[in-house]
Amino acid sequence: MWLSVTLQAESAKAEALSDALMEAGALSVGIEDADAGTAAEKPQFGEPGHHPTRLWDHSRVVALFDEDIDLAVALARAASEAGFDAVPPFSVSEVAEQNWVQLTQSQFEPIHVTDRLWIVPSWHQAPDASAINIELDPGMAFGTGSHPTTRLCLQWLCDAVRAGDTVLDYGCGSGILGIAAARLGAGDVLGVDIDDKALVAAQDNAQRNGVSLRLQHSREPLDARFDIVVANILTNPLCVLAPLLSARVAPDGRIALSGVLEAQADQVIAAYAPYIALEVGAAHDGWVRLEGRRGEHDGP
């Protein structure tokens, strides 16, 4: 049995508290956005023209302790070391010992995207052998097909991709969207991400699924235009990237953006308005997919 302790901490002290908890005997510590999943969510990213902030305005620190520890002493010590006058508000829950591999696998069943496309973890048999089945295991990079925004993009790709299309997957994460595009018949597919680990995961997943992806870091120049541009990130970086992503859409090409909450759709549409007209194409569980096509009179 272990104890999971969640403490509220302002951003300026969250890292110090995290380090102090490890010194006080925590087995592991993580820092999360306390506003995650709400309109106040504040993503951490580093894209062209943006300087990332330091953590979030409202953070929570989650620490795992052995059940035998004197929790009150450990928390008091950590709070003092991190410069708190008292232990910040916290909650405690018990974590039972269990087969973590089996538990994790049980949480990821095959995902039905459309009748044409399934996402199948490696430990499962494909439910429909005649469909396009992408083998993808949960890993360090975002994108297993289970999140509504990923599914919204996959569904769009099933309709949008034509044989030989060139595709840009910006913020490729695990590579799931680029892999799907390639399996759906796209020609040249480029995945771009800011995270080196994501690029490694995307390459491994592409090889596992027998497709070829070109991959590059977001710091590298990006000048080509593509028939299809898809980006599943978050509202703020999507707005920052509006000039870049819009310019990557070929004449008569199409773009789809997700990672956008319904309440944030107008903000993203306004950011892209000087370049490409976007509209809400679909919504799921509070998230939307924005779509557009580059016309001959659209901006640069």
pLDDT at 268 over 80: yes
- Read off the pLDDT of residues 140-182 as tens digits, 9 standing for 90 and up: 445 667 788 999 999 999 999 999 999 999 999 989 999 999 9
- At residue 101, the pLDDT reads 52
What amino acid is encoded at 132 in this protein?
A: I
pLDDT at 102 over 60: no
CA atoms of 119 and 104, how far apart (whole Å): 16
* pTM for the full predicted model: 0.67
pLDDT at 73 over 60: yes
- At residue 296, the pLDDT reads 63
User: Under CATH, domain 103-293 is a member of which superfamily?
Assistant: Vaccinia Virus protein VP39 (3.40.50.150)
DSSP string, 26-75: -SEEEEEETTTTSTT-------TT----SS-SEEEEEEEEETTS-HHHHH
Residue 104 phi, psi (nearest 5): -60, -45
Q: Residue 30 forms beta bridges with which residues? A: 62
pLDDT at 269 over 90: yes
Q: What are the structural domain ranges in the chain?
A: 2-97, 103-293
- At residue 110, the pLDDT reads 83
Q: Class assignment of domain 2-97?
A: alpha beta
- Read off the pLDDT of residues 13-58 as tens digits, 9 standing for 90 and up: 888 999 999 999 998 898 887 766 566 555 554 444 444 445 566 7
- pLDDT over 70, % of the chain: 84
| Region of residue 219 (phi > 0: left; psi between -120 and 50: alpha; otherwise: beta) | alpha
Confidence band for 276, pLDDT divided at 50, 70 and 90: very high
